[in-house]
Amino acid sequence: MTATQVETKQFQAETRKVLDIVINSLYTERDIFVRELVSNAADALEKFRHQSLIEKIEFDSHVPLEITINGDDKNHTLTISDTGIGMTREELETNLGTIAHSGSQHFFEQLAEAAKKDVNLIGQFGVGFYSVFMAAKNVRVQTRSWDGSEGWEWSSDGGGSYTIGPCPGLHRGTRIIIELKDDAHTYASKFTIERIIQQYSTFVPFPVIVEGKKVNTVQAIWSRSKSEITEEEYNEFYKFIGNAVDEPLYRFHFSADAPLSINALLYVPKENFEVLGMGRMQPGVNLYCQKVLIDQHSENILPEWLRFLKGAVDSEDLPLNISRQSLQDNALVIKLRKVLTKRVIKFFAEEAERDADKYRDFWKIFGIFIKEGMTSDFEHRADLAKLLRFESSASEPGVMISLDEYVDRMKEGQDKIYFINGPSRAAVEYGPYVEMFKKRGIEIFYTLDPIDDFVLNHLGEYNGKKLVSADRADLTLPESTEPSADTATDEQQVEPLSDAVATSLCRWMKEVLGERIQEVKASDRLVDSPAMIVNVDGFMTSSMERILKASGQTEAFGIGSKKDMEVNTSSNLIKRLAALRESDADFARDLVEQLYDNAMIQAGLLVDPMVMVRRNYRILERAADASSPTN
Ligand SMILES: Nc1ncnc2c1ncn2[C@@H]1O[C@H](COP(=O)(O)OP(=O)(O)OP(=O)(O)O)[C@@H](O)[C@H]1O
């Protein structure tokens, strides 16, 4: 190449930032750059193999599909070559000059954070190629596309720019020549390279030839029989396919011949990367046909809510040359997805039976995905319901139970499943909604996750039993659980307000509260608390309303659920209020307002804090006055 034909280009700003992070913060586990480059090479080979199945390729068709790695101890260079799909000039510039991510500030912060925490997270960010600069002073990428167009060389020292120029005489594929940093000379050694390949790249489905010797054995273990596969092989395969360093939480290897031929090897990792602040996970399961990759990180083979699974699905029934676009509507793929989803759900249900504690661990990490499935996947909702777990009034704190367990111990005459949402178990247990449940010994689920009420509302009923939130105005509890008069002790037998006084008090309270409340009425559910807010109609619970309000959606939905306030006419406070109303109406009005605000807060709904605090001080002042010794 002549100097005049070589162009110097600046990296995209985002790429520079990534390079900066990669170069400066990832010195500890540099080995992974080899894995990244080998996996890029394998991807390129896979792409070529796929292309050659779709069309007849003349150019360099005799070149075998393989990865070659050579070190030069004297010159301290490492060269990784593949005979894959190669890159055109445009592809070279786009792929190695820019970053596929939209490059938000947030992405870089997360990347920098992850790099500090655990270098292995880097792979999840798709900065694969750039990891080479952990060990490289300078990198040259020589490449020629499968289409036979001219070859090109890209070169950079990882600073702000790279050069690009023609590179004649290449075969199809890509050669990466790495000039190693002074403290990275070990990567020119055959032993180091072999060790890394064994560790990370055993399952690369193409020969990897280090210094003339093939170091990997091709194994698509999913198509082998279970009994022939060792634990070690399973785990190694997981590390390869899941880009993981640890062992999986669950493994599911399943084969079927009818209605479709399927070999699936799926894994549940130990961590939910989405909660680690790394954004939405990409699907982790690849689709193969007779071991040829058809769809990497396939969005078609499993529903979105199963994106946390890693693994491989192979079906001989699929046409080899199916295009990515047509996978989505392909009848076979749709069928495959149905069968697989059902099997995966069944697998989780069986695991929950087999080892409930382990399943609880799974639920804590991945329950959120099952919940997502409940709200988004109508077809599997009923099956998924079996997998749900919540705490309940009858469970130990922190221990979650299934709907089946709840149903099994429902009270005689009970035909509904009750739940109540709250920010924590303690908040729910001290709140007004569970008082009568406790008193009558009726179990109630605590839905402590904001999404839970949506999940249960989508479900509607389970085994023919309606799911009902305890903050509903029309809640009825089974008659059979009504406490009989003689079970109440004397001190519990507090005289309530007379009906006439109660009715008049409620009417007046309604006047004070105006439109905010549809009705104030005497409660038959409150035991200790003086008041509570209940939802009159519709399906919306207070928790759902809170979430929709927070996201500004109540307007769009036209929802502002109508509410009643129930008051406890046996409560001392309410009885005093009835008297105070006659003697000091202004102060009594303040108390009504405060009761309302307190009840709203206990329902998890918003009140005007400024107004409330001012009022609260007025009330405190009265209380201080009343108990002051000078009075
Ligand atoms: N050996 C190669 N042959 C052909 N193309 C390559 C090769 N190496 C990299 N590329 C191209 O460069 C792109 C960027 O590579 P890079 O490793 O940065 O990201 P990625 O492979 O897309 O993501 P990740 O490594 O995280 O899976 C690849 O998507 C591919 O198109």
Q: Which residues contact 402 (CB under 8 A, 6 or more apart)?
A: 352, 386, 387, 388, 389
In this structure, are 143 and 242 located in the same domain?
no
Query: What pLDDT does 125 receive?
Result: 57
**pLDDT at res. 347:** 98
Tell whether 375 is covered by a domain.
no
The CATH code of the domain that includes 614 is 1.20.120.790
Domain boundary among 450, 469, 489: 489
Residue predicted with more confidence, 77 or 215: 77
Same domain, 274 and 410: no
User: For residue 367, is it within any domain?
Assistant: no
pLDDT at 585 over 80: yes
Please check if 88 is assigned to a binding site.
no
Whether 621 shows a pLDDT value over 50: the answer reads yes
Query: Do residue 195 and residue 94 come from a single domain?
Result: yes
Do 473 and 533 reside in the same domain of the chain? no
Mean pLDDT over each residue of the chain, to the nearest integer = 88
174 and 245 share one domain: no
87 is in an annotated binding site: yes
Asked, for residue 503, whether it belongs to a domain, the answer is yes
pTM of this prediction?
0.68
Same structural domain, 240 and 295: yes
Full domain range(s) for residue 122: 3-214
The answer to whether residues 8 and 154 belong to one domain is yes
Reading the block at residue 24, the tokens are 């400066």
Q: Is residue 368 part of a domain?
A: no
- DSSP notation for 40-63: HHHHHHHHHHHHHHHS---TTTTS
> Cβ(279) to ligand 1 under 6 A?
no
Cα–Cα distance between 44 and 217 in angstroms, integer? Answer: 19
Phi then psi for residue 161, to 5 deg, are -140, 170
Q: What is the pLDDT of residues 191-217, one digit of tens each?
A: 999 988 876 676 678 999 999 999 876
Q: Coil, helix or strand for 127?
A: coil
Rounded to an integer, the average pLDDT of 7-35 is 79
Say if ligand 1 is within 6 A of residue 95 CB. Answer: yes
Average of per-residue pLDDT across 458-462: 94
| 174 within ligand 1 shell (Cβ under 6 A) | yes
State the average pLDDT over residues 75-102: 89
Cα-to-centroid distance, 216 and ligand 1 (Å): 21
% of the chain residues with pLDDT over 90: 61
Tell me if 40 is assigned to a ligand binding site: yes
Q: What CATH number does the domain containing 57 carry? A: 3.30.565.10
Structural contact between residues 300 and 287, judged by C-beta atoms closer than 8 angstroms: yes
Task: Kindly report the protein residue whose alpha carbon is nearest to atom 26 of ligand 1.
Answer: 126
What's the whole-number mean pLDDT along residues 207-236? 88
Per residue in 327-366, pLDDT tens?
878 889 999 999 999 999 999 999 999 999 999 999 999 9
- Whether 125 has a binding-site annotation, put simply, is yes
Could you tell me the two tokens for 215? 């170091």
Edge-first strand order for the sheet with 391-392 is: 391-392, 445-447, 416-421, 465-469, 461-462
- 586 has pLDDT over 60: yes
Structural domain includes residue 381? no
Residue nearest (by alpha carbon) to ligand 1 atom 13: 95
Q: Answer whether residue 114 shows pLDDT above 80.
A: no
**Of the residues 163, 193, 214, which one is the last residue of a structural domain?**
214
Condensed to tens digits (0 to 9), the pLDDT of residues 367-409 reads: 999 999 999 999 999 999 999 999 999 999 999 999 999 999 9
pLDDT class of 190 with cuts at 50, 70, 90: very high
Residue 425 in marked binding region: no
- The confidence score (pLDDT) of residue 491 equals 47
CA–CA gap between residue 541 and residue 454 (Å, rounded): 9
Query: Which pLDDT band holds residue 4 (cuts at 50, 70, 90)?
Result: low
The Å distance, Cα 130 to ligand 1 centre, comes to 9
Asked if residue 563 belongs to a domain, the reply is: yes
- The DSSP output letter for 160 is S
- Please report whether residue 306 resides in a domain: yes
Kindly tell me if the per-residue pLDDT of 558 is higher than 60: no
Q: What is the pLDDT of residue 490?
A: 46
Out of 489, 513, 546, a domain closes at 489
pLDDT of residue 275: 78
Centre of ligand 1 from the C-alpha of residue 93, in Å: 12
Q: Please state the three-class secondary structure of 325-354 as a single string.
A: HHHCCCHHHHHHHHHHHHHHHHHHHHHHHH
Are residues 338 and 457 located together in one domain of the fold? no
Question: Does 572 score more than 50 pLDDT?
Answer: yes
User: Are 168 and 239 in a shared domain?
Assistant: no
Number of domains in the chain: 4
What order of strands is seen across the sheet that includes strand 519-522? 519-522, 563-567, 531-535
Bridge-based pairing state of the strands 310-314 and 284-289: parallel
CB 98 near ligand 1, within 6 Å: no
User: 66 and 207: one domain?
Assistant: yes
User: Average pLDDT, stretch 620-629?
Assistant: 87
Domain of 400, CATH number, reads: 3.40.50.11260
| Over residues 535-555, mean pLDDT | 77
Is pLDDT at 104 greater than 70 in this prediction?
no
Is residue 289 scored above 90 in pLDDT? no
ipTM of the complex: 0.97
Q: How far is the CA of 46 from the centre of ligand 1 (A)?
A: 12
| Pocket mutation for ligand 1, best pick of 33, 43, 125, 170 (most atoms within 8 Å of C-beta) | 43
**Interatomic CA distance for residues 353 and 351, integer angstroms:** 5
Protein residue whose Cα sits closest to atom 11 of ligand 1: 95
Distance (Å) from CA 176 to ligand 1 centroid: 12
324 annotated ligand binder: yes
- Same structural domain, 412 and 430: yes
| Other Cβ atoms closer than 10 A to 339 | 18
Is 134 labelled as part of a ligand binding site? no
pLDDT, tens only, 469-510: 999 988 888 887 777 655 555 445 678 999 999 999 999 999
Is 483 among the domain residues?
Answer: yes
Say if residue 41 is in the same domain as residue 156.
yes
Which of 22, 95, 98, 200 maximizes ligand 1 atoms within 8 Å of its Cβ, making it the mutation to test the pocket?
95
For ligand 1, say whether the CB of 40 is within 6 Å of any of its atoms. yes
CATH code of the domain covering residue 243: 3.30.230.80
Q: How far, in Å, from the CA of 232 to the mean position of ligand 1?
A: 29
